[in-house]
Amino acid sequence: MGLSDCNVHALLAVSDLDRAKRFYEHQLGLVRGEEEQEGVRYPCADGTQIFVYLSPDNAGKSPATLAGWFVDDLDQMMDELASRGVVFEQYDQPGIKTDERGVFDAGRFRAAWIKDPDGNTMALTELSH
> What confidence tens digit (pLDDT) does each residue in 64-91 have?
999 999 999 999 999 999 999 999 999 9
For 100-118, what is each residue's pLDDT tens digit? 999 999 999 999 999 999 9
Beta carbons of 32 and 22 less than 8 angstroms apart: no
Q: Provide the CATH number for the domain around residue 72.
A: 3.10.180.10
Q: What is the pLDDT of residues 9-49, one digit of tens each?
A: 999 999 999 999 999 999 999 999 999 999 999 999 999 99
Fill in the amino acid letter for 38. Answer: E
129 has pLDDT over 80:
no
> Domain count of the chain?
1
Radius of gyration of the chain (CA): 15
Whole-number Å distance between alpha carbons of 30 and 14: 16
Q: Looking at residue 64, what is its pLDDT?
A: 95
User: What is the band of 5 on the pLDDT scale with cuts at 50, 70, 90?
Assistant: confident
Identity of the amino acid at 77: M
**Domain containing residue 34:** 3-127
Phi, psi for 28 (deg, rounded to 5): -85, -20
In the predicted model, is pLDDT for residue 51 greater than 90? yes
